[in-house]
């Protein structure tokens, strides 16, 4: 088609608002992060699954929380009249998938996925309209060992990235305990209890006086009881203000058990935090988050909890479930802050340049041979001078170059240049791959 | 939250129409396919990039072709009044990204991506509403060597999957030649020329008489000239019916050059096919497709071409570009047909069972040690009998099992069971990883 085609109005080159383009150097960072997520999840016996970003809108109405569905999702009606949502989180999808094959699947299931998720909100630091998230879920395990395992897995990820334990802290709370306090003891309605939870969740985002006033409006006479609990300095002080009742006793002992077991595994930076709520409605037991301890950058690095009743929405019997999510945007931000991201290098090992167009057929053959020897090879196809061809390799950060002309082809000797230290090694064709593998090996050790 | 929560109407467990859930065994196949795509693309020096699935709708209006934008895309208006499209193809996105950084990027660029793409159509065999596609693009290379390279890359992918060359054929045509015939020689308007191209594209989908009638309506007196060309048996016969003109001569010699160069690289299953059109409006030169040669299953496995002028829509100077796409649905279908998909095995190497709850802390430590030795370990956390625990490992197809009780802990000897052949090896704790790596190595060799 000619370039006088209709629609010659110049188009913008920007991406859609709040989403990202991943140029090779950005993509390499994504893949580094995803690679560590995957390696650690697999090392704990988790296997990968995935689903479509398109889900029936009703999937989120039941349990995600009204604010999220009504104000924060991309939901539209398709041409067949179906309401479709771009998934804002992965848990409803994985619950749907498990419920669909509950009879055939061999429980317990250890599943992970790295989906992209969509939120319709104003882009800001750490919050975009599209982000990726590691989701790790363990289905079919009732005991607190399940929580121990997924928290240990998350901690192992942070350590693998090079974050030392003092850079993050794990906060633990229990929906069982909070419900026993708000509903069983203080006799709040389920609706009021949820409103109190959401208020506590936003505690740090408002002045102290505003919080007290709102809490008082919701709780009336019980205001002071709850404030005393919220202001308790630690687990012991908190416990001392509680009445004796079965749900509270078992909920509190579960928290203590979890903290003790984590400590037994060498995870000593976990603490009880009665103000930790987590936004989603579907949690039923322990909830947890890992926070960055940097005072300039207090953010949640990941969060999760137990959701034993989510499968009920599909008419399935309950399946015990514990899981967490960890986002790419925050993860990358933290790794940048601590200078823990590796320098970019492309996967390409070798760039072959030519001093004559006549040798291109020879070069295509040489490249094919080297590829068979597990060397990743790009060929310069231009008609530029060899010096400019080498500059291209350098700009792409490709570590090795071989220049081929008629002399090399007839003499059967080839010089491999290493661009990092400008060293040169002259070898026969069959030895080229050995030289390059040595350079690759040295690069990997750095 | 209690299970008497509002919204207790039972939800469906089906996915949204026309999209797929990937359970671990399906996901493993996706990852096998993506893995070969990636390995081969990287072996040719290509680097990964990616972009969001959300794009401004106007990106597709200019060049994708009206039918696709108007009838076949998911397009909706966001809450900010922006028209957004779920990308139906990746080429406009990559062109946008390259145009946005044209000054800084070091050309030539060898880029690949494995995006998911969306088409609003009725699901049928081989055509879903969401599919994944390998996209390979080479920007900044003017000569036919660029086409040679990307076609060689695609052929190498098919060979790597185990498809022998007689199972597919590469068809090649040229937009330069077709435009020189339809516009310069037969004097069709650009609109009529496009209508003729689309008609030829659908030739096999209608009875011969219908095709002749429609062609005659569009071409009038030139009908017979074009039919003679379309019915030519080969490149020589086709050429003999052409007038002498510069565009035709250079276009035809480019096709011959491409075929000769592919043959020089050992690719002998490429042929000229004057009926090959390709749907997108943006192609400017060589177009190509690879077809399955199975007579029961004639499908396009991949297609691509040169699109030197697509960056013009962003007000950029032209950038020479060649690329192709290859879909996961067709690929998987073909590999299933020829029984070329590997059997499922999970990444997990070892399942640790227990004969007493007391040893769980010991097992957590043992697992951590083994993970440090690069073994992927799942732990049974249940309170079931050890025989049932072993059955769980078997159902998950995990190759090795170690059962730990108080005797093993005090005796410091552990028995590794290999579930494939029921063999057992008893070793000290520090030797467990060696036994498992041996089993893994044997599994990989199969």
Q: How far apart are CA B206 and CA A160, in angstroms?
A: 59
Among chain A residues, the shortest Cα distance to B265 is held by A365
Chain A residues within an 8 Å CB radius of B74: 78
Would you say B22 and B102 are in contact if contact means Cβ atoms under 8 Å apart? no
Residue B6 confidence (pLDDT) above 50: no
Min Cα distance A295 → chain B (Å) is 31
* Nearest-Cα residue of chain A relative to residue B360: A145
Q: Does A5 touch chain B (CB under 8 A)?
A: yes
- Scanning B208-247 for CB atoms below 8 A from A yields none
Class of domain A350-445: alpha beta
Q: In A, residues 316-335, which contact B (CB 8 Å cutoff)?
A: 318
Q: Is the dihedral of CA B326, B332, B338, B340 positive or negative?
A: positive
Are A52 and B130 an interchain contact pair (Cβ–Cβ within 8 Å)?
A: yes
Q: Characterize B198-219 residue by residue with b for buried, 16 or more Cβ atoms within 10 angstroms of its Cβ, and e for exposed.
A: ebbeeeeeeeeeebeebbeebb
Among A48, A52, A360, beta carbon nearest to B24: A48
- Min distance A180 CA to chain B CA atoms (Å): 11
Chain A hits for B1, CB-CB cut-off 8 Å, are: 63, 175, 179, 190, 194, 281-284, 309
Q: Distance between CA B20 and CA B328 in Å, rounded?
A: 12
Nearest to B315 among A10, A51, A130 (CB): A10
CA–CA distance, A48 with B29 (Å, rounded to integer): 11
- Contact list in B for residue A419 (CB cut-off 8 A) is none
Positive or negative torsion for Cα A90, A93, A95, A97: negative
B52:A20 CB<8 A: yes
Nearest residue of A to residue B3, measured between CA atoms: A309
Please name the residue of chain B whose CA is at the shortest distance from the CA of residue A261.
Answer: B361
Q: Which uninterrupted H or E stretch holds A163?
A: none
Asked if residue B261 has pLDDT above 90, the reply is yes
What is the tens place of the pLDDT at every residue in B211-224? Answer: 989 999 888 888 88
Q: Look at residue B170 and give its three-state secondary structure.
A: strand
A345 contact residues in B (CB cutoff 8 A): none
How many angstroms separate the CA atoms of A270 and B343, rounded? 42
CATH (residue range B24-337): 3.30.930.10
Q: Which residues of A touch B149 (CB under 8 A)?
A: 379, 381
CA B443 remoteness from chain centre: 27
Check CB contact under 8 Å for B377 and A148. no
The token pair at B315 is 């007000």
Mean pLDDT by 10 residues, chain A (446 residues): 49 92 98 98 98 92 61 84 92 95 95 95 77 97 96 97 96 94 90 89 88 89 88 94 90 96 96 88 92 84 93 89 96 94 96 95 95 97 95 96 96 94 94 94 76
Q: What is the pLDDT of residues B29-76, one digit of tens each?
A: 999 999 999 999 999 999 999 999 999 998 987 665 555 556 788 988
What are residue B280's DSSP bridge partners?
none
CA dihedral B437, B443, B444, B446 (to 10 degrees): 150
Please judge whether A31 and B48 are an interchain contact, meaning their C-beta atoms are less than 8 angstroms apart: yes
Nearest CA in chain A to B263: A361
State mean pLDDT over B424-435: 96
Residues A61, A266: Cα–Cα separation, whole Å: 40
Contact residues, chain B, for A100 at CB < 8 Å? 13-14, 21
C-alpha torsion sign, points B293, B296, B302, B308: positive
pLDDT of the residue at A274? 94
CA A134 remoteness from chain centre = 4
For residues B167 and B297, is the Cβ–Cβ distance under 8 A? no
Q: Does A417 touch chain B (CB under 8 A)?
A: no
Kindly list the residues from chain B whose CB atom is less than 8 angstroms away from the CB atom of residue A281.
1, 5
How many whole angstroms separate alpha carbon A32 and alpha carbon B51? 17
- Residues 374-403 of chain B whose Cβ lies under 8 A from any Cβ of chain A: 375-379, 381-383, 392, 395-396, 398
Q: What ipTM was assigned to the predicted interfaces of this complex? A: 0.93
Share the mean pLDDT of chain B.
91
Query: Could you tell me if B81 lies within 8 Å of chain A, comparing CB atoms?
Result: no
**Two structure tokens written together for A197:** 């939870």
**With an 8 Å Cβ cutoff, are B22 and A51 in contact?**
yes
DSSP B352-396: EEES-GGGHHHHHHHHHHHHHTT--EEE--S-S-HHHHHHHHHHT
The strand order across the sheet containing B423-427 reads B377-379, B350-354, B400-404, B414-418, B423-427
What is the pLDDT, as a whole number, of residue A2?
37
Spell out which residues of chain B touch residue A312, defining contact as CB-CB under 8 Å.
3, 8
What are the structure tokens assigned to A445, written together?
Answer: 């050790």
Which residues of chain B make contact with A360, given a CB cutoff of 8 A? Answer: 145
User: Smallest CA–CA separation between B89 and chain A, in Å?
Assistant: 15
Distances (CA, A) of B123 to A78, A81, B130, B301: 14, 16, 10, 18
CA distances from A4 to A125, B88, B306 (A): 42, 24, 18
Residue A310 exposed, middle or buried by CB count within 10 Å (0-12, 13-18, 19+):
buried
Q: Does A347 touch chain B (CB under 8 A)?
A: yes
A48 and B56 within 8 Å at the Cβ level: the answer is no
pTM for this prediction:
0.94
Across residues B380-391, what is the average pLDDT? 95
Question: Nearest-5° angle of CA B32, CA B444, CA A368?
Answer: 65
Could you tell me which chain B residue has the CA closest to the CA of A384?
Answer: B141
CB contact under 8 A, A50 and B22: yes
A136 forms beta bridges with A112, A324
| CB nearest B51 (choices: A21, A50, A351) | A21
* Structure-token pair, residue B6: 């509002």
Asked if residue A151 lies in contact with residue A269, where contact means CB atoms within 8 angstroms, the answer is no
The two structure tokens encoding residue A273: 């935090």
Of B42, B51, B156, the CB nearest to A22: B51
Look at B16 and A395 and tell me if their CB atoms are within 8 Å.
no
Tell me if chain B has a CB within 8 Å of the CB of A7: yes
Q: What is the pLDDT of residue B190?
A: 86
Q: Which residue of A has its CA nearest to B281?
A: A1
Domain-wise residue ranges, chain B = 24-337, 350-445
Which chain A residues touch B346 with a CB distance below 8 Å? 47
Average pLDDT (B352-375) is: 95
What is the chain B residue with the closest CA to A96? B13
Q: Do B82 and A17 touch (CB under 8 A)?
A: yes
Residues B397-402: what's their mean pLDDT?
Answer: 97
Mean pLDDT of the region B370-395: 96
Closest CA to B192 of B214, B218, B169, B164: B218
Q: How big is the A-B interface in CB pairs under 8 Å?
A: 288
- Cα dist from A207 to A195, A217, A299, whole Å: 18, 16, 19
CB contact under 8 A, B396 and A106: yes
Q: Is A191 on the interface with B (CB under 8 A)?
A: no
- CB contact, 8 Å: A149 with chain B? yes
- Selected for mutation to probe chain A from B381, B382, B383, B396 (highest A CB count within 10 Å) is B381
């Amino acid at each position: 088609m000619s370039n006088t085609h209709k629609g010659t109005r110049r188009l913008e080159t920007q991406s859609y608002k709040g989403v990202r383009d991943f140029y090779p150097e950005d993509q390499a960072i994504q893949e580094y992060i995803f690679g560590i997520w995957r390696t650690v999840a697999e090392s704990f016996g988790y296997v990968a699954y995935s689903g479509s970003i398109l889900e029936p809108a009703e999937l989120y109405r039941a349990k995600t929380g009204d604010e999220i569905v009504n104000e924060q999702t991309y939901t539209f009606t398709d041409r067949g009249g179906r309401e479709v949502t771009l998934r804002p989180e992965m848990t409803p999808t994985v619950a749907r998938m498990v419920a669909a094959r509950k009879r055939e699947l061999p429980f317990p299931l250890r599943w992970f996925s790295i989906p992209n998720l969509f939120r319709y909100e104003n882009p800001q630091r750490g919050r975009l309209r599209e982000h990726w998230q590691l989701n790790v879920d363990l289905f079919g395990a009732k005991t607190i060992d399940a929580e121990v395992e997924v928290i240990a897995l998350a901690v192992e990820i942070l350590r693998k990235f090079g974050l030392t334990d003092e850079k993050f802290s794990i906060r633990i709370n229990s929906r069982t305990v909070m419900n026993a306090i708000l509903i069983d003891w203080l006799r709040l309605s389920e609706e009021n209890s949820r409103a109190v939870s959401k208020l506590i969740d936003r505690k740090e985002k408002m002045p102290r006086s505003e919080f007290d006033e709102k809490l008082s409006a919701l709780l009336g006479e019980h205001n002071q009881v709850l404030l005393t609990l919220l202001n308790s300095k630690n687990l012991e002080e908190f416990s001392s203000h509680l009445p004796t009742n079965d749900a509270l006793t078992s909920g509190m002992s579960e928290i203590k058990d979890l903290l003790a077991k984590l400590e037994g595994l060498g995870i000593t930076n976990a603490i009880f935090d009665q103000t930790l709520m987590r936004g989603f409605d579907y949690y039923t037991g322990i909830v947890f988050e890992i926070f960055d301890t940097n005072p300039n950058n207090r953010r949640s690095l990941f969060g999760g909890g137990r959701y034993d009743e989510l499968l009920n929405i599909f008419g399935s019997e309950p399946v015990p479930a514990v899981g967490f999510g960890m986002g790419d945007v925050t993860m990358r931000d933290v790794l940048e802050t601590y200078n823990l991201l590796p320098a970019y290098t492309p996967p390409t090992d070798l760039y072959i340049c030519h001093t004559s167009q006549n040798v291109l057929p020879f070069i295509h053959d040489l490249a094919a041979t080297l590829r068979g020897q597990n060397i990743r090879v790009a060929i310069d196809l231009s008609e530029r001078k060899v010096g400019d061809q080498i500059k291209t390799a350098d700009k792409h950060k490709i570590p090795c170059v071989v220049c081929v002309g008629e002399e090399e082809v007839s003499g059967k000797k080839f010089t491999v240049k290493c661009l990092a230290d400008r060293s040169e090694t002259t070898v026969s064709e069959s030895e080229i791959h050995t030289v390059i593998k040595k350079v690759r090996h040295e690069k990997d050790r750095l």
